[in-house]
Chains A and B, each alone.
Chain A
């Protein structure tokens, strides 16, 4: 009964505060859209490469949709040319040795050049090998004519394999005069498609993060207001139970958190056409649990703040590190102590569960471990909150 009164009051207050409502419901959509467009064009970047005295066959091999080549004189200086023409890299060949100078002001451009270089060199090697194999083929065919026995054929096969060291598949049917088969690669993607960007992969985690962040901020600050304006003390001068206050808050803000989650997830699924392997219901459930953790944590943290400003100071301390451990950066490759540290953050479990469900199609049973830990976080913080109110009233 009293809990319902508190829930009604929280809802009413929230509905009156249009700005906060907008922040909770529209801000995540705005940021998501912004990120969507920011991370869209990752396949159109082109690295400018300057070449000097490089063999034409290699220059040809270097050309692809991500490179733009320009020739410079034999004695062009790498440093100055890069600066003058804003190049990503400068390649100079002398006595068959390649010297590459990277500008490296854009690591992504450097990666493109490295890729092109590696691809180009491999392409040349393969061409050379194919040529070599063809010559060998001719020799072997001559031998075959001489030794027309089955045994000889086998020996010849072994010899062919030995010399080519398994480089190409053409060796196996060396007796046939067929040309090198052109490989066609068919790719299959478990999650997303060939157009998948950073955004698509991390969207599930981002969803969880936004829910966590906004619920934490709003619930923390509203309880802080209740402390600083004295209404919390006033509340506790009525026969209300401490648990009823906390429950009222959890339910009241929980309703907004659910609405926020539904809006954000629906927006991501329909507008961005993001495809999820697992069930949307599990995604919603995980987000709801994250909201509950954020809610109880926000209320708890507000105990340690004396003003809204101090509450905001907790964001770099408690919220930003969670982003690092939410799965956006691969946790498995972190140093051991960081991996251990990751385990104290709720978003680590939330992010893990969201990624697994969205990109690997895990079911409820597969992520139940993460979910239970989130429930545990929420329960512990809620209990701490109920005990913490003893500060205001002894019973």
Chain B
């Protein structure tokens, strides 16, 4: 079997007394979309940052593309979209793209070509030379996604990518993610929009730092004997609370 894009083993993390992640195992091969779903504060972003090597884990290992994280060189192959838009507001979208492209090691004509391409993907071509301060929330989100795509990475880690994006554009973005997947890229998406969860190849439910369930959407629905992922999520949560009260 091909080398996994992400391999997380027994990762645990706590901030002071607050346990954020408990024994998380996660496996993502190339050409798959993995959805991390869970309520806010579940530890999704912490897990994402641990995978990127930006957060120190207390136990366990995270491996990306066969290299144990943290590793600076591997970051060149990861396209990351943070939960909050981290953009330079006084610069134009093009300047933001160019800056992050340069940091990711994309140079010269390849960079110009890449800017044109990603702008098209997120439908920002007409607004490329406007300052980000004049952008709407949705436009900023799209620009952040474009930045994640700028270096044509093998692995995409998208933290809540479609917040504030209208349904039509959301369709377009998911279509693009599918195309990327078909080209052998691996995609890790965190979300709490349940209909997006249905589009993932595989899902992982996180609640209170614990991986409650893992599998394809169909598997999960069968396992919990419900019709929607939302119900899976609610049921899994209830079961977790009952287990807690037993202890």
Return B71 CB to nearest CB of chain A, in Å: 7
Interface contact B91-A13, CB-CB below 8 Å: yes
Across the interface, which residues of A come within 8 angstroms of B84, CB to CB?
Answer: 230
Report the Cα distance A21→B105, complex, angstroms: 31
Interface contact B90-A239, CB-CB below 8 Å: no
Report the Cα distance A394→B51, complex, angstroms: 12
Across the interface, which residues of A come within 8 angstroms of B87, CB to CB?
Answer: 229, 231
In the complex, whether B12 has a CB less than 8 A from a CB of chain A is no
Contact with A along B88-131 (1 / 0, CB 8 A): 11110001000110111100000000000000000000000001
Report the Cα distance A239→B54, complex, angstroms: 12
Interface contact B75-A237, CB-CB below 8 Å: yes
Interface contact B105-A239, CB-CB below 8 Å: yes
Return B95 CB to nearest CB of chain A, in Å: 7
Interface contact B103-A240, CB-CB below 8 Å: yes
Contact with A along B62-92 (1 / 0, CB 8 A): 0000000011110110101010111111110
Across the interface, which residues of B come within 8 angstroms of A8, CB to CB?
Answer: 99
- Within 8 Å by CB of B52, from A9, A17, A229, A237, lies A237
In the complex, whether B14 has a CB less than 8 A from a CB of chain A is no
- Which residue from chain A places its CB closest to the CB of B79 in the assembled complex? A237
Interface contact B102-A394, CB-CB below 8 Å: no
Across the interface, which residues of B come within 8 angstroms of A237, CB to CB?
Answer: 52, 54, 75, 78, 80, 82
Asked if A5 meets B91 with Cβ closer than 8 Å, knowing A230-B84, A237-B52, the reply is no
In the complex, whether B38 has a CB less than 8 A from a CB of chain A is no
Interface contact B103-A393, CB-CB below 8 Å: no
Interface contact B103-A17, CB-CB below 8 Å: no
Asked if A17 meets B56 with Cβ closer than 8 Å, knowing A5-B103, A12-B95, A235-B103, the reply is no
Interface contact A239-B103, CB-CB below 8 Å: yes
In the complex, whether A259 has a CB less than 8 A from a CB of chain B is no
In the complex, whether A317 has a CB less than 8 A from a CB of chain B is no
Across the interface, which residues of A come within 8 angstroms of B161, CB to CB?
Answer: none
In the complex, whether A22 has a CB less than 8 A from a CB of chain B is no
Report the Cα distance A17→B89, complex, angstroms: 11
Interface residues of A in 225-262 (CB under 8 A from B): 229-231, 233-241
Interface contact A16-B75, CB-CB below 8 Å: no
Asked if A16 meets B91 with Cβ closer than 8 Å, knowing A5-B102, A5-B103, A238-B103, the reply is yes
Interface contact B90-A16, CB-CB below 8 Å: yes
Interface contact A2-B86, CB-CB below 8 Å: no
Interface contact B104-A238, CB-CB below 8 Å: yes
Return B80 CB to nearest CB of chain A, in Å: 4
Interface contact A5-B99, CB-CB below 8 Å: yes
- Within 8 Å by CB of B53, from A4, A9, A241, A395, lies A395
Interface contact B70-A393, CB-CB below 8 Å: yes
In the complex, whether A146 has a CB less than 8 A from a CB of chain B is no
Across the interface, which residues of A come within 8 angstroms of B75, CB to CB?
Answer: 237-239
Report the Cα distance A241→B103, complex, angstroms: 10
Return A225 CB to nearest CB of chain B, in Å: 9
Return A395 CB to nearest CB of chain B, in Å: 4
Report the Cα distance A9→B53, complex, angstroms: 25
Contact with B along A1-20 (1 / 0, CB 8 A): 11011101100110011000
In the complex, whether A392 has a CB less than 8 A from a CB of chain B is yes
Report the Cα distance A8→B88, complex, angstroms: 13
Report the Cα distance A17→B91, complex, angstroms: 10
Asked if A229 meets B86 with Cβ closer than 8 Å, knowing A5-B99, A5-B102, the reply is yes
Asked if A393 meets B100 with Cβ closer than 8 Å, knowing A16-B90, A233-B86, A237-B75, the reply is no
Report the Cα distance A238→B77, complex, angstroms: 9
Nearest 7 interchain pairs by C-beta: A234-B86, A5-B102, A230-B86, A238-B103, A16-B90, A394-B70, A395-B70
Can you list 23 residue pairs at the A/B interface with Cβ under 8 Å? A1-B105, A5-B102, A5-B103, A9-B99, A12-B90, A13-B88, A16-B131, A229-B89, A230-B82, A230-B84, A231-B86, A231-B87, A231-B88, A233-B82, A234-B80, A235-B103, A236-B54, A237-B75, A237-B82, A239-B72, A239-B76, A395-B71, A395-B72
Binding site for A on B (CB under 8 A): 52-54, 56, 70-73, 75-76, 78, 80, 82, 84-91, 95, 99-100, 102-105, 131
* Additional pairs, 5, CB under 8 Å, beyond known A233-B82, A394-B53: A4-B102, A229-B86, A233-B86, A394-B56, A395-B53
Binding site for B on A (CB under 8 A): 1-2, 4-6, 8-9, 12-13, 16-17, 229-231, 233-241, 392-395
